[in-house]
Amino acid sequence: MTSVPTLEDLPPLQGRRVLLRADFNVPIRDGEIADDLRIRATLPTIEWLRGQGAAVVACTHLGRPKGRPDPRYSVEPVRRRLAELAPGVDLLDNLRFEPGEEANDPAFVAKLIDGFDAYVNDAFGASHRAHASIVGPPQFLPSAAGRLLAKEVDVLLGLRTDPRRPFVAVLGGSKVSDKLSVVEALLDVADAVLVGGGMCFTFLAAQGNPIGASLFEPDMVDECRRLLERHGDLRASGSASPGPERPAAGGSKSGEHVLVLPTDITALGPGGELMNPGAGGEVRQLGTRLPEGWTGVDIGPGTAAEFGDRIADARSVFWNGPMGVFEDPRFEAGTRAVAQAMADADGFTVVGGGDSAAALAQFGLDGAIDHISTGGGASLELLEKGDLPGLAALRGEWNG
């Protein structure tokens, strides 16, 4: 397992100044923070550092200001909330106001660490980025992972290297191209990978199913077909007929690590619009063969039940990505079913941040999950590769 130095590995901090790289990239609406979870998640690290006598100065990115100051991405609302939660902790301006941050400019690193005696990275959600504030300071200062980062690494690498079995991964989201490498990596370790969301339609097309007007990546069909030939669960009703080279129904060529696709779809008929029920368009539950002009926008009730059963039987579950357009109440059922199954599961449940965490919060189920990651992209990359630039930097192994 990839280990990183922890807070206890730092030298004595009494009277020292510590630069804390946090991930305070919180949602802000009308100048107010809509969800301060990421700020509160860093408090254990701040409290430990201050308990050791250190003066703590935090830094974060916020949004995508493209290397120049932009009042839309001011950290002032974050600074106010941080002052309420941790009085006396200063917060630097938005790191991404500086072009040197995303460019990992050595001159910006030098400016950033000037006057500091130690560095702590508690920004798991940004640690897959080789940015100046992530990989730069550990080259020059005693450095360690904060409590949040250390816990994320422990939980996610535990799933990757030694999960309690059966281990089920549930992946959704829009594009298969964004997650194909993650699907492959998880198929090496998970007993079953359940695929929903928009990404499932390229897999369904690879099986020979007509997918109507659904989201589709034609250049990924061959890759999806390759994975299905090795790992496809042939119990799916939409599967192509077994040929001489295909295994018997109910298994896969690998015999253990199974890729499971939807067996039914909730679809929106021609003329319909997402987020606009008044526009017309029929909503119907269909199989995996969609008529022309119909758009698949959620897994169907049969698939939701099967996914729920697999989650219930698992001892470890990882979920990243919604099953459909859950922001539209007509198409929330699949994501809600997976969220409820995760909440009800007896096994160890992990949610990979982003839209899945938002769905849990929308359904009031976020308190029932064992671990909700603060980094969607970072959690996927760590599961895929087993390491991140920010972790390698803390170990003194980042070579850029």
pLDDT of 399: 85
How would DSSP label each residue in 47-68? HHHHHTT-EEEEE---S--TTS
Task: Give CA–CA dist 390/397, Å, rounded.
Answer: 10
Q: Torsions phi, psi of 317, nearest 5?
A: -135, 130
Question: Alpha-carbon distance 380 to 373, whole Å?
Answer: 10
Other beta carbons within 10 angstroms of residue 333's beta carbon come to: 19
One digit per residue, the tens of pLDDT, for the chain of length 400 reads: 468 999 999 999 999 999 999 999 999 999 999 989 899 999 999 999 999 999 999 999 999 999 999 999 999 999 999 999 999 999 999 999 999 999 999 999 999 999 999 999 999 999 999 999 999 999 999 999 999 999 999 999 999 999 999 999 999 998 899 899 999 999 999 999 999 999 999 999 999 999 999 999 999 999 999 999 999 875 443 443 333 333 322 333 344 789 999 999 999 999 999 999 988 899 999 999 999 999 999 999 999 999 999 999 999 999 999 999 999 999 999 999 999 999 999 999 999 978 899 899 999 999 999 999 998 899 999 999 999 999 999 999 998 7
User: What is residue 234's predicted lDDT score, i.e. its pLDDT?
Assistant: 52
CA distance 400 to 390: 11
Among 146, 353, 376, 377, the active-site one is 377
Report d(CA 87, CA 82) in Å as an integer. Answer: 7
CA-closest candidate to residue 319, choices 264, 382, 373, 263: 373
pLDDT of residue 239: 41
The yes-or-no answer on residue 21 being catalytic is no
Give CA separation, 27 vs 36, 38, 121, 354, in Å: 8, 10, 21, 12
Q: How many CB atoms lie within 10 A of CB 147?
A: 19
Q: Which of 16, 21, 38, 147 is catalytic?
A: 38
The active-site residue out of 80, 151, 175, 289 is 175
Closest to 393 in 3D by CA, of 189, 190, 135: 135
DSSP 74-126: -SHHHHHHHHHHSTT-EEPPPGGGSHHHHTT-HHHHHHHHTT-SEEEE--GGG
- What pLDDT does 273 receive? 95
> Residue 381's closest CA among 392, 396, 370, 366?
392
Domains and CATH numbers, the chain: 7-151 (3.40.50.1260), 163-385 (3.40.50.1260)
354 is an active site residue: yes
Predicted pLDDT of residue 243 = 33
Catalytic-role residue among 197, 300, 324, 354:
354
